[in-house]
Amino acid sequence: MGGTKILSGVVDREGNVLRRHEGESPATSEADVLAALDASVDALLDDRVSAIGYGVPANLERGTGRVLRATNLHFDDFDLAGHARARFGLPVGVENDANAAALAEWRLGAGRGLSTLVVLTLGTGVGGGIVLDGALYRGWAEVGHLVVLAGGPPCQGACHGRGHLEALASGTAADAVARELFGAEATAHVLVERAQAGDAGARARLAEIGGYLGAAIGSLANLFDPELVVVGGGFGEAAGELVLAPAEEAARREALAPADGTLRVVPAELGSDAGLVGAALVAFEALDGTR
Ligand SMILES: [Zn+2]
């Protein structure tokens, strides 16, 4: 589930997306959101489907999966798993969308086989998930709201903080840089294109974004000592090494030994399917009773 669309799919245990469906994410009421969600399941349901998983951009109650508060959706303290189990008669798993994407990158993507890693997604906002000692951290990992520049630009949406990673290294932040450099119509896409074509100003500003990202990663390294930091999301993937290389350099500067020499920042492997595949893995957890 996203703020603008609901992507659903039939996914097998290996992460292959066998069928997919895309619908609008209504911004009107909880009943409308629920109707759209149910329709996105109905569109794909057949006898092969053995469980349903949801990735929701929301804070969930730990242990129950109750949707407490969604950032860009009309969902307020709702038992989505209970609703779906009753309606569809299948095992149901619910997880925060960024956590689900991190689960997918760990199990089936860039983090395969590791036991401690951090996954960051740079899109409209900045999301993330943390795998610690061989288990996904299921709490509120609001990695996008780490402070990387005290007193910096204001954050987005309902966040009243300043200088958060999301305000400095999201696709939205890159859009603002693009407008500043190349005019009102420019977007992060243009910024990356110009940098790839060798524009020194564009390259410098993407390196600056990478520096902010690296500051956050360095702090995360000093907390969790991840073997790997995986960066995905629409903007993260488009910018690639233009942002990741300066991020790794900055992160190593901030990280304590031995991470100052060993920490790696790599691109995500599952692309825009990470959230979808992660939701499926959450469904299989519910089916197998492994949660
Ligand atoms: Zn914030």
* pLDDT tens readout for residues 243-260: 999 999 999 999 999 999
* pLDDT value of position 259: 94
Q: Is pLDDT above 70 for 71?
A: no
Distance 290 CA to ligand 1 centre (A): 33
Structure-model confidence comparison of residues 244 and 4, the more confident one: 244
Work out the pLDDT band at 72, boundaries 50, 70, 90. low
For residue 199, CA distances in Å to 32, 194, 196, 245 come to 46, 5, 7, 17
Rounded to the nearest whole angstrom, what is the distance from the C-alpha of residue 166 to the centroid of ligand 1?
A: 6
Q: What is the pLDDT of residues 183-202, one digit of tens each?
A: 999 999 999 999 999 999 99
pLDDT tens track for 49-64: 999 999 998 888 877 7
How many Å lie between the centroid of ligand 1 and the Cα of residue 215?
Answer: 15
Model confidence, pTM = 0.90
pLDDT of 239 strictly over 90: yes
**What percentage of the chain reaches a pLDDT higher than 90?**
78
Output the CA 198–ligand 1 centroid distance in Å. Answer: 32
* For residue 258, cis peptide bond before it (omega within 30 degrees of 0): yes
pLDDT: is 4 or 184 the higher one? 184
How far, in Å, from the CA of 162 to the mean position of ligand 1? 7
pLDDT tens for each residue of 81-106: 999 999 999 999 999 989 999 999 99
Ligand 1 geometric centre to CA of 291 (Å): 30
- Identify the H or E element spanning 265: strand 265-267
pLDDT at 266: 97
161 Cα to the center of ligand 1, angstroms: 5
How many Å lie between the centroid of ligand 1 and the Cα of residue 217?
Answer: 16
Reported as a single tens digit per residue, the pLDDT across 215-234 is 999 999 999 999 999 999 99
Q: What is the mean pLDDT of residues 196-209?
A: 98
How far apart are the CA of 256 and the centre of ligand 1, in A? 26
As a dihedral over the C-alpha atoms of residue 157, residue 282, residue 131, residue 59, rounded to 10 degrees, the angle is: 30
Distance between first and last Cα of the chain: 21
155 alpha carbon – ligand 1 mean position (Å): 5
Q: What is the pLDDT of residue 139?
A: 80
| Cβ-contact 30, 78 below 8 angstroms | yes
| Cα 181 to ligand 1 centroid, rounded to whole Å | 24
How far is the centre of ligand 1, averaged over its atoms, from the C-alpha of 13 (Å)?
Answer: 35
Comparing C-alpha atoms, which of 281, 279, 287, 288 is closest to residue 85? 287
Per-residue CA distances from 222 to 216, 263, 272 (Å): 10, 11, 29
Of residues 194 and 77, more confidence is placed in: 194
